[in-house]
A and B are shown apart, each in its own frame.
Chain A
Amino acid sequence: MTVLATTAAVPLAAAAESTSVGNPFVNIGIFALFVGVTLVVVLRASKNNKTAADYYAGGRSFTGTQNGTAIAGDYLSAASFLGICGAIAINGYDGFLYSIGFLVAWLVALLLVAEMLRNTGKFTMADVLSFRLKQRPIRIAAAITTLAVCLFYLLAQMAGAGALVSLLLGIDGRLGQSLVITVVGALMIVYVLVGGMKGTTWVQIIKACLLIAGAFIMTIWVLSMYGFNLSSLLGDAVATAGNPALLDPGLAYGKTETSKLDFISLALALVLGTAALPHVLMRFYTVPTAKEARKSVVWAIWLIGAFYLFTLVLGYGAGALIGPERIANAPGGVNSAAPLLAFELGGPILLGVISAVAFATILAVVAGLTITAAASFAHDIYANVVAKGRTTPAQEMKVARRTVVVIGILAILGGIGAQGQNVAFLVALAFAVAASANLPTIVYSLYWKRFSTQGAVWSMYGGLATAIVLIAFSPVVSGTEKSMITGADFAIFPLSNPGIISIPLAFLLGWLGTVLSKSKEDPAKQAEMEVRSLTGVGAEKAVEH
């Protein structure tokens, strides 16, 4: 977030007075209570984890409403709560794009992907992608892209956890935050190992309700302070910041032609990323039918849309009541806007509750991501490629559990590296990677009869490599004082989001690989996939216990 960095040029004196917020003991007490309750739920829910379908897909026994709430829980991560509130508080209108992009993106999932995916797959994204193409290359590619997207997403969540807890406990040092991230990672591993998908689904449901309720209460609270007049709230935000441009577009992205392009790139990644996020796609398998998948998406859209409307009020509310300068200088920086606002409104108690909810949010999202990555590795790479199918479900789940541990460790290390970045911005990078690596192949294999294995492989590897290489050479990684590596400058790519290049390129590669491929795919498999995707014949049913 190079643009955000410029707003941080404020004397450090302001930081000293807001370093510790609330009472660490109250904060930790409320938080520990919450974690305890969710762990009990996980343990109880996991008693029925008998089969692979149970572990990965929650027995396909969730209703559309339950699953929709869980999708909202998966989706409304630290990025949506901490990241967007902070972005709006500091960058004003330009931060609002995140809310809009994250929501509109659901139409891609609803109209084009969700139901057909439910009808043709079983556990993972690769099930669908490899349905009518060659198993091995596609599964390997899909598993690699899944792991990459999940890891990017995890980094963002970890950065959010570090920011949140540093504010909560008044831990300001890098070492202290690193320790916090390590503890979150360890908790998460326990969650996933014990609970599986059924456990995490319940965690998502509980957490989504708490998060939306918490945001709703804060929204009403803020609005009531301004007589339920949005205009006077906005006016006060401008007055506190001393910057009328807060309400107009361009504060963060309007400075140069390059930053304007960056805005388009971000917008593209946001709208096309959602339907390609492996952990969201996997949620469509936890319901018994395509109709329930549709219901879940619809329910998720309502919940998510409502939540993003709240973020507009919360973001400007934080700007009005606390002010961009104090937010930027607080421990946790831009990501601390929402908890700071909670403290401003309801003192240490509300801060404790909201922080616990935000923390649980991160924990739950991290668990969802990890289980997706683990399922993808165990199911797509181990069971189908390494063991060539000569494995037992028990063995596959053992591999999945080991993968969880490895992913957990990688996430902790990555989170330590990504401290201090805006979470919404980091998540947008994961969206760009997902939209580049996965979306073209998903869309082509569902809707383009001629699509071939070569096209899929070119598109997935090409999109993934382009996105990651461009990020590596962007100002995110090096060249500015806010970059991950501050001492060096190899940022030869000027945009901080790669979407505008990598997404169209991945679509192009998918097309090119297909028209240039010599071998034709099996028309019978294509027929089967198309018939199944539209009618739902032969789709996996719910597991009965």
Chain B
Amino acid sequence: MAHPTTPEPLPEDLAGPGVDAGTRTGDHPREAAGEFMAVQASGEFQELRRTHRSFVFPMAVAFLVWYFAYVLLADYAHDFMSIKLAGNINVGLVLGLLQFVSTFGITAAYVHFSNKKLDPKATALRERLEATVDQGDLK
């Protein structure tokens, strides 16, 4: 995609539009690209981006920390994990099953969050963009 604005000529990309026609959806001219930069800088998009990241990043950190805490316990705290709680059910098994519970929980929370907070913002922005940018540029 050799854009005239590209800071450095890209020899690999000499073949202009159509070369990778099968690879991406928008072989659009520069105006559309400028449009995207304007949208990216807009407050509305920044807000959408912030909303998205403010949920997925902390959540990703949280489940990874919890998962590795479990792994380290299973690896180095054998005595603790082997404590029997009820019959033959020990701490390790319960913590393992709790990993299932947390995974299901986070999944449900994300769906709820996306439907409530993300989708309305994303849809509004998409519809406005599709109205301003010529459809021919996008498809």
Report yes or no: A134 in contact with B13, Cβ–Cβ below 8 A: yes
Task: Mark out the residues of chain B between 52 and 81 whose CB falls within 8 Å of any chain A CB in the assembled complex.
Answer: 52, 56, 59-60, 63-64, 67-68, 70-72, 74-76, 78, 81
Evaluate contact between A539 and B75: CB separation under 8 angstroms: no
Contact B6 A522 (CB under 8 A): yes
> In the complex, A108→B62 CA distance in Å?
11
Contact B110–A93 (Cβ < 8 Å): no
Closest 7 CB pairs of A and B: A231-B87, A389-B19, A136-B12, A538-B138, A524-B33, A234-B88, A527-B40
Whether A271 and B64, one on each chain, are in contact in the complex, defined by CB atoms closer than 8 angstroms, is yes
A541 and chain B: residue at smallest CB distance? B139
Which size bracket describes the interface of A in this complex? 35 or more
Residues on A close to B: CB < 8 A? 52, 93-94, 96-97, 99-101, 103-104, 106-108, 110-112, 122-123, 126-127, 130-131, 134-137, 229-232, 234-235, 238, 247-250, 253-254, 260, 263-264, 267, 271, 291, 294, 298, 301-302, 305, 308-309, 379, 383-384, 388-390, 393, 396, 519-520, 522-525, 527-528, 530-532, 534-540
Cβ-defined contact, A122 with B24, below 8 A:
yes
5 pairs across A/B with beta carbons < 8 Å?
A123-B23, A519-B8, A527-B39, A528-B33, A535-B125
Partner of A249, one of B8, B30, B75: B75
- Contact partner of B19 among A103, A130, A388, A396, CB < 8 A? A388
* Pairwise interchain contact A134-B60, C-beta atoms closer than 8 A: no
Cβ of A254: which chain B residues have Cβ within 8 Å of it? 75, 78
Q: Annotate B90-121 by CB proximity to A: 1 below 8 A, 0 otherwise.
A: 10110011011001101100110010000100
In the complex, the answer to whether A527 meets B37 with C-beta atoms within 8 Å is yes
- Complex Cα distance, B12 from A134, in Å, reads 7
CA distance A390 to B87 in the complex (A): 68
How many interface residues does B have (CB within 8 Å)? 74
Given contacts A104-B63, A528-B26, contact A248 B78 (CB under 8 A): yes
Instruction: Write the chain A residue with the least CB distance to B100.
Output: A305
Given contacts A122-B25, A249-B92, A389-B18, whether A103 and B48 have CB atoms under 8 Å apart is no
Interchain CB contact under 8 A, A389 and B21: yes
Contact B23 A523 (CB under 8 A): no
**Which residue in chain A gives the minimum CB-CB distance to B51?**
A534
Max chain B Cβ within 10 angstroms of own Cβ: one of A96, A111, A127, A134: A111
Mask of B17-43 contacts with A, CB within 8 angstroms, 1/0 = 011111111100010111011011000
Count contacts between A and B, CB distance < 8 Å.
Answer: 216
Alpha-carbon distance between A531 and B6 when the two chains are bound, in angstroms: 19
Which residues on B sit within 8 Å (CB–CB) of A248? 78, 81-82, 90, 92
- Using A122-B24, A232-B88 as known contacts, list a sample of 14 further A-B pairs with CB atoms less than 8 Å apart, ordered by residue number in A: A93-B74, A97-B71, A111-B56, A122-B23, A122-B25, A135-B1, A135-B20, A231-B86, A271-B67, A298-B107, A389-B15, A389-B22, A527-B40, A537-B125
Q: Is B71 touching A263 in the complex (CB atoms < 8 A)?
A: yes
Nearest Cβ distance between residue B93 and chain A, in whole angstroms? 7
Given the known interface contacts A522-B3, A535-B48, A540-B25, the answer about A107 and B107 at a Cβ–Cβ threshold of 8 Å is yes
A253 surroundings in chain B (CB, below 8 A): 75
Given A136-B13, A248-B92, answer yes or no on A384-B23 (Cβ-Cβ < 8 Å).
yes
Considering only CB atoms, which chain B residue lies closest to A259 in the complex?
A: B75
Given A254-B78, A519-B8, CB of A112 within 8 Å of CB of B104: no
Residues in B whose Cβ lies below 8 Å from that of A393: 22
Contact A249 B138 (CB under 8 A): no
Task: Give the complex CA separation of A502 and B125 in angstroms.
Answer: 40
Residue of A126, A305, A520 with most partner-chain B CB within 10 A: A305
User: Nearest chain B CB to A494's CB is how many angstroms away?
Assistant: 16
Question: Which A residues touch B23, using CB under 8 A?
Answer: 122-123, 126-127, 130, 135, 379, 383-384
Q: Is the CB of B19 within 8 A of A111?
A: no
